[in-house]
């Protein structure tokens, strides 16, 4: 028996003694991140938002197995928000549509969510009226039964069966009425409940997961009371995709107690906030580094490697890696490295001989601090 087969199935319950302390922790984390960004100024906020929105769109699609071009997504967002950034590329009509959906959700977060608005989002996902396999009803609620299945043909496993299509309009009326109403539910919890409620109804032939996460992001923007998105919850959901699907399935087969779903959602949100903090700190460190060495000159190879070291360089930096990455000779690589050592930018690591490697001095200082 599925959750939606019970009377007033949407009258969810949860254990406040377990959920509320985790909510308080997330709210404090959220406030700290927003405070940091506000102190950094408008340009920093723009860049952080561009990164977070791009990640949300790309990762939400990837959860469903669809791979979007990150540079096209980033360029489409920048153009629509008037953000000046280098390296803009031409984006496809489809990506522009997906970006429009996310921007409508997050930039107009206080606007009521309506059937027509959802139909518009659905049209952006399926502009040809088809998914990859077959024709679907676009810009309208489904008129067919809906099952979520996995496995090869003939051996399918049914994970979930949604409400019958005859019920969908009334179910969506109830959902949208609750979503648009003022109530005492904390806005972060409301985002979690909204996502669960929407995917339980599964109102469309296809695209329910992506639209459900757009609803989630809209509600998180309401929680922040800001159109500026600084963290990507979809990125964390992708990292734990199997658990994400499993906990939704378990909750939809439960008795209406959504404690476990809320706890997991809050955990993912806390991790998303931590990832955003780390990303912002890296950007701060990178800017501080280049400001501190602005009186020095570097060739293009040196600039390239230093930027890599300021991000997430894998393993140790050796002259051999330098030569390979920069497509130069071993002698050129060694000369580049020696120049940076002389300038006090790099230092030899502890290993010697054939294992000689080099470290970025600023990173070592940051570790000590």
* Residue linked to tokens 């050796």: 318
Query: Is residue 208 within 8 Å of 196, Cβ to Cβ?
Result: no
Pick from 311, 223, 236, 218: which is nearest to 273 by CA?
236
Q: How confident is the model at residue 322 (pLDDT cuts 50, 70, 90)?
A: very high
* Residue linked to tokens 């939704």: 248
Name beta bridge partners: 347.
Answer: 359
Name beta bridge partners: 110.
Answer: none
> Distance of alpha carbon 72 from its chain centroid, rounded?
16
Q: If you ran DSSP here, which 8-state letter would residue 155 be given? A: S
Question: What structural domains and CATH numbers belong to the chain?
Answer: 3-283 (1.10.3290.10), 296-368 (1.10.10.10)
pLDDT in tens, 117-151: 999 999 999 988 887 778 888 999 999 998 888 77
Name beta bridge partners: 148.
Answer: 160
Burial letters 28-38, b for 16+ CB under 10 A, else e: ebbeebbebbe
Output the 3-class SS for 279-336. HHHHHHHHHHHHHHCCCCCCCHHHHHHHHHHHCCCCCCECHHHHHHHHCCCHHHHHHH
pLDDT in tens, 243-284: 999 999 999 999 999 999 999 999 999 999 999 998 888 878
pLDDT in tens, 156-208: 788 889 999 999 999 999 999 999 998 889 999 999 999 999 999 999 999 99
Pick from 361, 358, 360: which is nearest to 349 by CA?
358
Q: How confident is the model at residue 365 (pLDDT cuts 50, 70, 90)?
A: low
pLDDT in tens, 200-245: 999 999 999 999 999 999 999 999 888 888 899 999 999 999 999 9
- What's the farthest any 2 CA atoms get from each other in the chain? 76
Pick from 233, 187, 229: which is nearest to 213 by CA?
233
* Residue linked to tokens 């107690």: 257
Q: What are phi and psi of 123, to 5 degrees?
A: -60, -35
Q: If you ran DSSP here, which 8-state letter would residue 134 be given? A: S
Q: At what angle do helices 319-326 and 300-310 cross, to 10 degrees?
A: 110
Pairing, β 346-348 against β 157-161: unpaired
pTM for the full predicted model: 0.84
């Amino acid at each position: 028996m599925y959750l939606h087969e019970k009377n007033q199935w949407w009258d969810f319950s949860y254990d406040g003694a377990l959920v509320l302390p985790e909510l308080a922790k997330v709210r404090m984390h959220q406030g700290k991140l927003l405070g940091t960004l506000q102190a950094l100024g408008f340009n920093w906020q723009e860049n952080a938002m561009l990164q977070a929105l791009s990640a949300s769109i790309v990762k939400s699609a990837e959860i469903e197995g669809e791979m979007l071009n990150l540079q096209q997504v980033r360029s489409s967002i920048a153009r629509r928000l008037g953000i000046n950034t280098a390296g803009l590329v031409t984006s496809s009509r489809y990506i522009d549509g997906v970006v429009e959906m996310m921007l409508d959700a997050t930039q107009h977060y206080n606007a009521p969510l309506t059937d027509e608005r959802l139909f518009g989002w659905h049209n952006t996902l399926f502009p040809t009226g088809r998914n990859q396999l077959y024709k679907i009803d676009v810009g309208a609620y489904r008129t067919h039964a809906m099952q979520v299945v996995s496995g090869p043909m003939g051996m399918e496993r049914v994970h979930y069966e949604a409400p019958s299509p005859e019920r969908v309009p009334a179910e969506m009326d109830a959902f949208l009425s609750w979503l648009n109403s003022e109530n005492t539910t904390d806005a972060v919890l409301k985002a979690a409940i909204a996502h669960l409620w929407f995917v339980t109804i599964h109102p469309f032939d296809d695209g329910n997961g992506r639209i459900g996460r757009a609803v989630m992001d809209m509600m998180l923007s309401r929680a922040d009371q800001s159109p500026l998105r600084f963290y990507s919850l979809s990125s964390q959901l992708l990292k734990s995709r199997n658990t994400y699907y499993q906990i939704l399935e378990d909750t939809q087969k439960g008795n209406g107690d959504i404690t476990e779903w809320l706890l997991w959602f809050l955990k993912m949100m806390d991790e998303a906030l931590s990832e955003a903090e780390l990303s912002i700190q890296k950007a701060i460190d990178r800017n501080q580094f280049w400001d501190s060495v602005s009186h020095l000159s570097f060739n293009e190879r040196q600039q390239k490697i230093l930027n890599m070291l300021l991000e997430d360089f894998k393993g140790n930096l050796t002259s051999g890696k330098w030569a390979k990455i920069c497509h130069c000779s071993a002698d050129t690589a060694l000369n580049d490295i020696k120049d940076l050592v002389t300038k006090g930018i790099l230092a030899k690591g502890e290993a010697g001989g054939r294992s000689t490697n080099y470290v970025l001095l600023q990173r070592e200082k940051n570790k000590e601090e």
